[in-house]
Each structure stands twice: as structure tokens, then as C-alpha cells.
Structure 1
Amino acid sequence: MSAVPLIVEVVRSGFVESVHRAWVFAMDAEGVPVAVHGDVAAAASPRSSMKPLQALGMLRAGLDLSGELLALACASHSGEDFHVRGASEILAGAGLDATALRCPEDLPLDTATAHRVLRGGGGPARITMNCSGKHSAMLATCVVNDWPTGDYLHPGHPLQRAIRATAEELTGERVAATGVDGCGAPLFFASMAGVARAFRALTLAAPGTYERRIADAMRAHPEWTSGTSRPEAALMRAVPGLLVKSGAEAFEAFAFEDGRAATVKIEDGSQRARAPVTVAVLRALGLGLDSPVLDALACPPQFGGGRPVGELRVRGQV
């Protein structure tokens, strides 16, 4: 274990043209730290990696979702058609529509879907923003409790207080600070170690509990938590029993069904370095050793003139 961050090299034509630094915290099945790189006890910004904990707070407050729609409540989705239909279904179940959403307008993250929207004369919309599933679930939770919906993103709102209490319970920490996430929702800062503990708690919870319902829904429907072509879905399909949730600025949290868990943060926020580090940590924990899918994610190619001329690679050992 080392306080020194891992290094991810970007290699082109045999030349290391840039590097990314990665912080890592990993635990074995007994919850014992087995890999530490960087200051993992410091307050971090988990961004959307906190969504499963937000959804857990909502279930505890009376939200009634399951299956794909519960996975969507935990999602940073790609705005594909089934994501939009799902968010609309959550809203309709609460007697609301997309005008109640307070997330920003955005195009779908899925490139093909975004191009189709634009060709059809459409543009950015709240329902296609990647956090609309979470926001729809937040609004539905408010309706169940007769809480006001107009200010559901205020940190002092009963919904956000309930979510904060849930985050503190599962991370085992007091929230270090409260900021504003990209979608406008309160962002609760916690340490990388605390977030790993929280994900471990989700996968180790007894069947039927709210915690386990979150983990099971996400693992059963990985396309609903991200998208059909996203690395997070590929990882969960390739390693059955694995729960993964990424966040903006290259944060990632995962836990396996036996309690192995980890968090990853790329210092400069580069998304391209996240998957190679995640795969390196998974394999250091003994997961996905023979998976061709993980092989591809471990060393993504760099292109020149339309052909591979280099790769991203993690230097050294986790």
C-alpha cells in the first residue's frame, strides 16, 4: 500500500505523451484494506457514484420502485429511448410530467440518439439529461410524503435531509461538505474509503432489504444504470455479482457480492483513464482475470489515421 498515486500512461507510437494520476482504495472480502494509493481518507467528490445511496434514502422514505425503474433511479443514463420512457413512467406514476424536473436541459449522452434528436428538430431537454431518472424518483418520493416538489433540490428539504442521513450511515462518516452536483442536486462529500464501505454494505445486505434491492436492480439491469454501450454496463455483464457506479470527474465505486470493494478517482478528471484503473483494481482483487471484455477495457487503443498506434496502460502494480 502506498500514498503515491498510480500512473496511467498514454502511449502513442511507443512514446509516452501524457500521464494521469489515480487514487485507489480497495478492500478484500473481509473489509481489510489491501490497496491504497493517494490520500483516500480526505474528503472527495464522488459525484454520481453517490446515486445508489440517494436512491436508498428514497426507498427508506417510501419510494415504491423496483426492477428497471429502480436501476434508472440510480443511473447516469445515456438518454436512450428506454431511459426516457422509464423516467416518464416514474413521473406519471406520481401524477407529474417532465415540467416538474429541475435538472438542466441536455442532449442524450448516447451519440446516435443525440444525432437523431437533432435531425428530428429537437434539442436539449430535461428528460434526456443523464440524471432525469434520479430526479424523477426524487419527485416521486416527495409526492409519496406530501413534501413540496418545487424546491426538492434544496439541501434543507426533507428529501435531501433523509438522503444525507442515509449517506452518513452507510459511509460511516459525517458528510464533510455539501456542494452542488452537475444536475443541481446536493452533492455530499465523503472519503473514498467511506464510499467503498457504503458499496460493500449494499452488496452484503440480506436479500429483500432496501440495500440489497438497490444492488440487485443495478446488477440485473446494467444498461438502465448507464447505457447499452457504456463501460459500467460492460463491467457488470462481464463479472456477474459486480456492482459498479461511475461519477463525473472520473470517480468510480464498485463492490462484489462477497464484499470486495473499491473506489477509484483520476486526479485530473479524465474519463479515459478510469476504466483501465478500474480493471487493474478488479484484477488485483482477483476478479475478471480471464475476461476478454476486461482485456479490452484495460488497455484501450489510441488511434492515428484511423488505426491503432498506441494505448492507455496502468504502470506498476495496484
Structure 2
Amino acid sequence: MTGVAETGAPPAPPARKALGPDGVVPLAVLERSGLIESRHSGAAVLTRPDGTLALELGDGDADVWGRSSLKPFQALAALRAGAPLDGEELVLATASHAGTPAHIAVVERVLDAAGAVADDLQCPHDWPLDRRAMLDAHAAGHGTRRIAMNCSGKHAAFLLACRVNGFSTGDYLDRQHPMQLLVAETIADYTGQIPDRVGVDGCGAPVFATGLTALARGIGRIAGARERGDDPLAATLAGAILDHPWAIDGPGRSNTVVIDRLGVIAKLGAEGVLVVGMPDGTGFAMKMLDGNLRATTTVALDILAAHGLVDPDESAAVAAETAERVLGGGQPVGGIRSVALAG
């Protein structure tokens, strides 16, 4: 390892302004019985395979917390640290998983490789996101567990990287820990932007602020690594995600359906963040200002289809399948519609 992980974090640049009301545009509406009931505004960016800007809606340079959309970079940092991850284990390092028995079994394999147990994870106790898994866990008397928390695969990967390098494990979430310094370095290397703010994510790990343009560029670099052939670690990560889409989210869940049906890399983040990477290296990133995730996939697929990057009919079917249903008396009475390119 070089750079940040060995020499300490680089001097933080002056903080960029945070994304706010002056930096967003209308992106989606929810209609009920012919009337627009709710509106979602945000910012969205599309970058070309060479990293240049192809589309900017709103302010693509303003700071956002990447939240779980940073997980591909965190997983890549674990690979760069020498963690022996591949296949499903690597995807769980990237995942916001649903906590099904299959997900938990993979996390347990990573913990075994790290010589660790579930109690060594420092993510919070939680219920599985998958409803059936949650009900089964409750019926089995498990209660909330660290390993069921959607970020447990990432934390297990951190522990494995620490074991390989002889790093301390009790403080692996400290922002000055070698593992977290390598995460910051990896984000800077792939996005081309040094994070100017460091906070605490919901799982307790450091979370880094960047602009959406930087996020789009970074996910594009990872997704396009196999086609470029110049980055074996990123190519391994991209290939694993495409080969095991169930592991990054869960059966029937948004990211899994998008990856499986469209052959792209997609990763949601809390508070309305989504990144998508195309096999040719095109990158996309967006943030809903109100933090609501329900329209993010619909907007992303609308933009990608309009630019000829995904099949429009298949992407429309995926959007319809993954979007929140608008019901009245149990029957459809409306829907969510992208207006990102309406004007």
C-alpha cells in the first residue's frame, strides 16, 4: 500500500458547498388519480468513459455524502489491501444486503477467513431488510444481530484486510486507521477528487463527501475496468457484481433487479443517492434533495435510456417492477414518473 495509508491523510482541501435548494432541479413526480401529489428535486450527472461531463442536471460539484454508494470503493480498498476476496464474498463487501440466510452465510465465510466472529463486527445490531428473513429471525428468537445489518459484509471485509496486514481490529472504524486511510485514498484515486469532509455513516464507518460528478467518474472507472483491461482489481470487483447480483441487495430488490436485467453496476445509498456504472465506463450519479430513494432508479433508467445506454423497453419494465406502487383501495391509481429530461 502507498500514499494515504502509509503517509497519513493528505491536507484537506477547502470544503465545497453542500448540495442545497439552489443546486437542484425537478427530477420526478408521484401522481395519484391524475393529480401530481408529490415532487422530488435533486441533482444528477452522467460522465463519459473518459471521465468528462456528458450531462449535468443541477450542481454536480456540490458536496453530498456518498453513503452506501461508496461501498464499491470501500470493497476495492479491501482488495488493494490484499484481502483475498472474490465472487460472492467480494460482492458482500460491496453490498447493502437484505440479510437473507444466503447473505449471512457468505458474511460468515468472510469472518472465518479473518479469524473473527460476528461479535467482532462494529456495525450496529439490526433486523434483516428482507421481510421473510426478519420474520424467520424473530420466530427463531434471534432478535437483532450485527451480522444481519445490511453493512455487515463490508465490515467483515475490513476485518479480513486488517488480518492480512496485521492491522489492529478493535479500532478499524477510526478515520485515522490504516484501513480507512486507504478507503479515502481509493476514493480520491478513482473519483479524481480528494474528499473534503469526513463524517460517520449509519453503520459507524467513516463516510466521505464528494461531488456527484466525481462519484459518477469513479463508478464509471470501476464498471469499465474489464473493457479497458488496465485495472485487474477493479475488473475483478465489476465482474463479481455482474456475476452475483443477488448478493449486492436481495431477490426482487432494486439494485439486484437492475444489475441482473440490464447488465450494469448499480448501488443505492441512503438519503436518495444512487450510482450506476456501465461496462463501457460511462458513469452516473444522483442525489434526491429530500433524501427519498423511491424515484432514484426510475430517474436513472430514464436518463440512461435517453442516452442510448440501456434498452428503453427493458429499462422501462425494470423501472415499473422496482418502483414504489401508488395504490388506492389496494388497486393501482397512479405512479412515479421521471421528469428529469422533461424540459
TM bucket (normalised to shorter chain) is: over 0.9
Match of 1:290, SS state, is: helix
Is 2:311 aligned against 1:311?
no
Distance verdict in 2 for CA 1:224–1:22, change over 3 Å? same
Determine the C-alpha separation between the residues in 1 that align with 2:319 and 2:250. Answer: 20
Using the TM superposition, give the Cα deviation of residue 282 of structure 1 relative to its aligned residue in structure 2, in angstroms.
Answer: 1.7
Of all paired residues, the percent bearing the same amino acid is: 36
Determine the C-alpha separation between the residues in 2 that align with 1:112 and 1:14. Answer: 34
Is 2:61 aligned against 1:41?
yes
Determine the C-alpha separation between the residues in 2 that align with 1:23 and 1:251. Answer: 10
Match for residue 301 of structure 1 among 325, 331, 342: 325
Code of the residue aligned with 2:33 in structure 1: it is S
Using the TM superposition, give the Cα deviation of residue 301 of structure 1 relative to its aligned residue in structure 2, in angstroms.
Answer: 3.3
The superposition leaves residues 159-211 of structure 1 with CA deviations (integer Å, 9 ceiling, x where unpaired) of 11111111111110111100000000000111111111111111222277111
Is 2:228 aligned against 1:228?
no
Over aligned residues, Cα RMSD in angstroms?
1.7
Runs of 4+ in 1 over 4 A off after TM superposition: 297-300
Match for residue 238 of structure 1 among 261, 274, 280: 261
Using the TM superposition, give the Cα deviation of residue 298 of structure 1 relative to its aligned residue in structure 2, in angstroms.
Answer: 7.8
Distance verdict in 2 for CA 1:164–1:208, change over 3 Å? closer
Determine the C-alpha separation between the residues in 1 that align with 2:266 and 2:323. Answer: 19
Code of the residue aligned with 1:234 in structure 2: it is V
Distance verdict in 2 for CA 1:119–1:299, change over 3 Å? closer
Using the TM superposition, give the Cα deviation of residue 279 of structure 1 relative to its aligned residue in structure 2, in angstroms.
Answer: 1.4
Q: Which residue of 2 is the match for residue 279 of structure 1? A: 301
Distance verdict in 2 for CA 1:97–1:215, change over 3 Å? same
Aligned counterparts, 1:122-141, within 5 A: 122-141=142-161
Using the TM superposition, give the Cα deviation of residue 276 of structure 1 relative to its aligned residue in structure 2, in angstroms.
Answer: 1.3
Q: TM-score, normalised by structure 1?
A: 0.95
The answer on whether the counterparts of 2:99 and 2:129 sit within 8 Å (CA) in structure 1 is yes
Match of 1:253, SS state, is: strand
Determine the C-alpha separation between the residues in 2 that align with 1:33 and 1:298. Answer: 28
Using the TM superposition, give the Cα deviation of residue 33 of structure 1 relative to its aligned residue in structure 2, in angstroms.
Answer: 2.1
Code of the residue aligned with 1:47 in structure 2: it is R
Unpaired runs of 5+ residues, structure 2, are 1-21
The answer on whether the counterparts of 1:3 and 1:36 sit within 8 Å (CA) in structure 2 is no
Match of 1:17, SS state, is: strand
Match for residue 241 of structure 2 among 205, 213, 218: 218
**Number of aligned residue pairs:** 316
Determine the C-alpha separation between the residues in 2 that align with 1:6 and 1:298. Answer: 21
Q: Which residue of 2 is the match for residue 107 of structure 1? A: 127
Using the TM superposition, give the Cα deviation of residue 300 of structure 1 relative to its aligned residue in structure 2, in angstroms.
Answer: 4.8
Is 2:255 aligned against 1:255?
no
Q: Which residue of 2 is the match for residue 265 of structure 1? A: 287
The answer on whether the counterparts of 2:200 and 2:207 sit within 8 Å (CA) in structure 1 is yes
Q: TM-score, normalised by structure 2?
A: 0.88
Aligned counterparts, 1:152-171, within 5 A: 152-171=172-191
Deviation larger for 120-129 or 281-290:
281-290
Is 2:27 aligned against 1:7?
yes
Match of 1:279, SS state, is: helix
